[in-house]
Structure 1
Amino acid sequence: MTRDGAIFIGDVALDEYFAVDEWPALGDKVWAEPRDAELGGMIANAASVHAALGGSTRFLTTMNDGQLSRRLLTELNEQGIDTGLCLVDDALADSRCLIFLAGEQHVVITPRIGDQRFELDDASFAVLGAARSIYSSIGDLRRLRFGSLSPAEIVRGIRAAGARVVLDLDVADLEPGDRELIGATEICFVNRIGFDRLAAGDAPGAVVAALLAGGMTQLIVTLDADGCIVHNSDGQTAVGGIAATVVDVTGAGDTFCSAFLFAFDRSGDPTIAARFANGAGARATESLGARSGVGTVDDVLDYLRAAGQDTAALAAALLPGVR
């Protein structure tokens, strides 16, 4: 059976930007300078990166059928992303995200849009199970519905059908039941803040060992400019970061995770994938907008070469005809 690309399950939104001199404390008042709005959304950002790199990409969300929703889906289609799996629920509000830029960091505020659910039927569940990879966030995996199954049971069912389930855990904003859901996934990305939350005071090595023993095959802890650490059955591998001139970190994590998935699918080598993802993520920080990480494989390799990196092994693994 030839598996068909990656399906990204989650949000697409209009990102509304504001710049502040510094993030205020509670009770403070500050001026915010409006910036141009950009099309964003954590999972849609990742899907856009994957499609631009050359990966077969589909997208599933539930949203209203209003003007903004149609605009967002049209933009995804124009990037080569198939939105045929998307669902409609007119009880939901428009999908927007407020992003405040402060120095080299940002604060993201996401208004709730209502009781968003991803209702699967037999046909759509079969489509997910036939994909090569399913990519989502913890909040979006919680929204999966299929008959009487829990989200964790749905994820295990998708994996049992042969698809890889990939989780961007990000800062690990956990709710009851999430640990079972996390443990059901195959590849998990989490940043250093999220890993500390996930560990909840337990020894980091014990946390990693438990996840790998439970069926996870790759746990990647991202470290911002310091790169990442890849944990798998071979042990742990630290991959150094790339120095960047940071303009906006919005979407850099989404870019890293999606670029890793693309490169891992192409190469089967987690170290190759991590090196490529580090370059893609760093490149994404040097422009404004959550989609600044969108680019081709050559774009990322050129960026890495300019940063003094040897890209011969990456090119051989990721570019057709290069050996």
Structure 2
Amino acid sequence: MSVVVVGAVNGDLIVRVPRIAAPGSTVIATGSSTGPGGKGGNQAAAVARLGGECALIARVGPDFDPASLSSVDLSRVVRDTAPTGLAVVLVDDAGENAITVVPGANANLGPADVGPLTGAGVVLASLEVPLAAVAEAARRAATGGWTFVLNPAPAVPLPDLLLRQTDVLVPNEHELAVLGSPEALLAAGAGAVVVTLGAAGCRIHRRAGTVDIPGHRVATVDTTGAGDAFCGALAWALDTGHTLDDAARLACAAGALATTAVGARTAQPTAAEVTASLR
């Protein structure tokens, strides 16, 4: 079994600020740093950090450093002439963030880059890459018997066919406001909708009802990448045979632990750390 991640790879410029600036205002930063990012890269790194086999489908620029994803299968990552994507991440004193992304090479990922899926496992995709590539990944997952997990971020209205091919949809509350109610998404064909609720955990919506999974209390430093850690852990847990409820419990623990250091990947946990947190 394995996890295939379809998504963006970025370089992150992280700027620490006392508060996120309002439109028309200026805030003096207290520091800055750089690091690897992008939802695809973060999610693939999260799976690998947990001990899972993971391959990444993405496009990067000539400036990409493969050492940032040394534990991930990069054989299906394409070198593009455009630069690697860039994300400017503002992090305030409460650990909340605001992110602006310059897509770069990510914008050129297409259906032809997805290619065949052999064996069985979980495909995890997000929307920092063109929807056509995501739709092709969903199609191949459906025809190949893979579980398809979609993190609809940043949120856009989703085609009905894509929803019907999605086994688990994982939006946060802001993304859900764009997509519609869980009930409507289920009626359109999604297998399950897992709404992440930050520190409060998540809520699993199925046609048979809902299940609340509690969050974990940690000393939050930076929430950047917490959703990616959640999604990566969810995919890893589903791939290793956990039920959706148990996978969501593991994912809540992983997402919480990922907020305990600055940067999208710095605090991504191991399986042992997730297990200890659940105890």
TM value normalised by structure 1: 0.79
Q: In structure 1, what is the equivalent of residue 215 of structure 2?
A: 241
Q: Secondary structure at the match of 1:82?
A: coil
**Amino acid in structure 1 at the alignment position of 2:206:** N
Partner Cα distance (2:244, 2:202) in 1: 11
1:157 Cα offset (Å):
3.8
Contact 1:171 1:195 in 2 (8 A): no
Checking the alignment, whether the CA contact within 8 Å between 1:116 and 1:143 is kept in structure 2 is no
Question: 1:31 pairs with 28, 32, 35, which one?
Answer: 28
1:87 aligns with 2:78: yes
Query: In structure 2, what is the equivalent of residue 117 of structure 1?
Result: 109
Q: How large is the RMSD of aligned CA atoms in angstroms?
A: 2.2
What is the CA-CA distance between 1:86 and the residue it aligns to? 1.2
Q: Return the offset for 1:245.
A: 1.4
Q: Deviations over 1:54-113 (max 9, x none)?
A: 11100111122x2x31x1x23212xx21100111221x1232211111123101111131
Residues in 2 aligned to 1:220 and 1:129: alpha-carbon distance in whole angstroms: 27
Contact 1:276 1:300 in 2 (8 A): yes
Distance in structure 1 (CA, Å) of the matches to 2:221 and 2:259: 6
Task: State the identity as a percent.
Answer: 26
Structure-2 change in CA distance of 1:189 and 1:162 (3 Å) = same
What is the aligned partner in structure 2 of residue 210 from structure 1?
A: 187
User: What pairs with 1:300-311 in structure 2 (closer than 5 Å)?
Assistant: 300-305=274-279
User: Paired residues, what number?
Assistant: 277
1:231 equivalenced with 2:221 (yes/no): no
Cα offset, 1:171, TM superposition = 5.2
* Residues 291-300 or 43-52, more deviating: 291-300
For 2:184, give the aligned amino acid: V
2:88 and 2:101 in contact (8 A); partners too: yes
Structure 2 residue matching 1:37: 3-state secondary structure: strand
Q: Which residue of 2 aligns with 1:74?
A: 67
> How far is the alpha carbon of 1:116 from its aligned partner?
1.3
Once structures 1 and 2 are overlaid, which stretch shifts more, 281-290 or 182-191? 182-191
Match of 1:264 among 238, 243, 246: 238
2:85 partner letter = S
Q: Which residue of 2 aligns with 1:319?
A: none
Q: Per the alignment, in what secondary structure is the counterpart of residue 42 of structure 2?
A: helix
Q: Contact 2:111–2:136 at 8 Å: present in 1 too?
A: no
Structure 1 residue ranges, 4+ long, deviating more than 3 angstroms after superposition: 151-154, 177-180
In 1: Cα distance, 2:196 partner to 2:214 partner: 10
Task: For 1:131 and 1:104, locate their aligned partners in 2 and report how far apart those are by CA, in whole Å.
Answer: 38
1:140 to 108, 129, 132: 129
Match 2:143 to one of 155, 160, 179: 160
Cα separation, 2, equivalents of 1:100 and 1:209: 34
In structure 1, runs of 5+ residues without a counterpart are: 145-150, 306-323
Is the 1:227–1:278 contact (alpha carbons within 8 Å) kept by the matching residues of 2? yes
How far apart, in 2, do the equivalents of 1:20 and 1:303 lie? 30
> Contact 2:219–2:260 (CA<8 Å) still a contact in 1?
yes
Aligned equivalents of 1:152 and 1:119: distance in 2?
Answer: 8
For 2:256 and 2:197, locate their aligned partners in 1 and report how far apart those are by CA, in whole Å. 12
Give a deviation string over 1:123-161, Cα, whole Å, max 9, x none.
Answer: x632x25441211113435142xxxxxx64662243112
Report the 3-state secondary structure (helix = DSSP H, G, I; strand = E; otherwise coil) of the residue aligned with 2:204: strand
Q: SS of the counterpart of 1:31? A: coil
TM-score w.r.t. length of structure 2: 0.90
Q: Distance in 2 between matches of 1:205 and 1:48?
A: 29
| Separation in structure 1 between the aligned mates of residue 250 and residue 276 of structure 2, nearest angstrom | 11
The structure with the larger Rg is 1
Q: In 1, distance between residues paired with 2:100 and 2:234? A: 26
Contact 2:50/2:236 (8 A) holds in 1: yes
